[in-house]
Chains A and B, each alone.
Chain A
Amino acid sequence: MNAHDEDRIKELLKSALPPVEPGAEPSRDLWPAVLRCLDARIAPTRAASASSLSLPWFDWALIAGLVLFAASFPATIPVFLYYL
């Protein structure tokens, strides 16, 4: 493609897609939409990170069982610690 062809195709492209006016601006205030977007996307992330800290019920049951066992038989605590 020579320079003449390039100029012609540029001219054709400019005719097909006229440039946008420099002063174009949104038809509405977009800030509320940005805030909604932040709320919608950040809240689930926070909730997910909070829920990752919570333990399933059987973990709690296991912990409770261990505490109960340790309270009932305190002499076994050093044995447990040795094997940890």
Chain B
Amino acid sequence: MPDPSSNVLDQFRQGDIGAFELLFRKHRRAVYGWILRIVRDHAAAEDLTVESFWRIHCAHARFQPARPFEPWARRIATRAALDWLRARRPEGALTERVMADLPSVPAGNPGVAAEIRLKTAQAFARLPPRLRIAAVLSVVEEQPHKEVATALGISVTAAKLRVFRALRLLRKDLQQQGITP
């Protein structure tokens, strides 16, 4: 008996809008959540989810039905989020309001002063977007390196290197502000 999900993927590859809607309904939450982890802004994450599914629809002919849909969709979503981060001024990112609006689990260390947390967030926002994505997914969201590397379209070693470089630059920026981690 043929697998119904692979049938949907085949139909999607042929450009069937019904199959596309089924895939959208099934994966929208995962794609939205992934983007939210990167951009940390609800409204932007919703817009980027729409943008990602538009890109997914445009790329339907390149999709290989033998491969899982979600990592492929996540990779496209990561690219859309990266474009968004690049287009934004770093000063505008991760403001106090955005941080306050974000649904999050309690911070790991409540003992860290609010001012230091804000300065850290601002310093983090000044990092190059490709380093920021690797660091936020690996360190903050604790996603496996392999998953981060797949989403970024790079090797696991390159993903680890990006995280390391992000942390080093962050430390340097904080030290310049007189904060010694």
Selected from A10, A17, A24, the residue in CB contact (under 8 A) with B103 is A24
Which one of A11, A15, A19 contacts B142 once the chains associate, using CB atoms below 8 Å? A19
Known: A17-B40, A19-B141, A30-B46. A38 touches B54 (CB 8 A): yes
Hey, which chain A residues are within 8 Å of B105, CB to CB?
18-19, 21
Spell out A's residues near B (CB within 8 Å).
1, 5-6, 8-22, 24-28, 30-31, 33-34, 37-38, 41
Q: With A24-B103, A25-B29 as known contacts, state yes or no: A17 contacts B136, CB within 8 Å.
A: yes
Residues of B within 8 A of A30 (CB): 24, 28, 32, 46, 49-50, 53
Using A9-B171, A24-B36, A30-B28 as known contacts, say yes or no to A15 and B57 having CB atoms under 8 A apart: no
Report how far A39 CA is from B103 CA in the complex, Å.
33
- The chain A residue sitting closest to B94, CB to CB, is A17
Q: Which residues of the other chain, A, contact B167 by a CB distance below 8 angstroms?
A: 1, 6, 9-10, 13
Contact A15 B171, beta carbon cutoff 8 Å: no
12 contacts between A and B (CB under 8 A): A12-B181, A14-B108, A14-B139, A15-B112, A16-B112, A16-B121, A17-B121, A17-B124, A18-B106, A19-B142, A25-B33, A30-B32
**Chain A contact residues: helix, strand, loop or mixed:** helix
Complex contact B103–A20 (CB within 8 A): yes
A13 to B171, CA, bound (A): 10
B109 at the interface (CB under 8 A from A): yes
Contact assessment for B109 and A11 in the assembled complex, using a CB-CB cutoff below 8 Å: yes
- The closest CB in chain A to the CB of B49 belongs to A30
Minimum CB–CB distance from B17 to chain A (whole Å) comes to 8
- State A34–B112 Cα separation when bound (angstroms): 41
Decide yes or no: A18 and B171 within 8 Å by CB, A8-B181, A12-B112, A30-B28 being known contacts: no
Whether A33 lies near B50 (C-beta < 8 A) is: yes
Contact A31 B29 (CB under 8 A): no
Is B158 positioned at the interface, with any CB of A under 8 Å from its CB? no
Interface centre among A16, A20, A41 (most CB of B within 10 A): A16
Complex-state Cα separation, A27 to B45, whole angstroms: 11
Q: State A21–B102 Cα separation when bound (angstroms).
A: 9
Task: Choose from A19, A21, A34 the contact partner of B24 (Cβ within 8 Å).
Answer: A34
Is B21's beta carbon under 8 Å from chain A? yes
| B20-56 to A contact mask, C-beta < 8 Å, 1/0 | 0100110011001100110010100110011101100
| Distance to closest chain A CB from B77 (angstroms) | 13
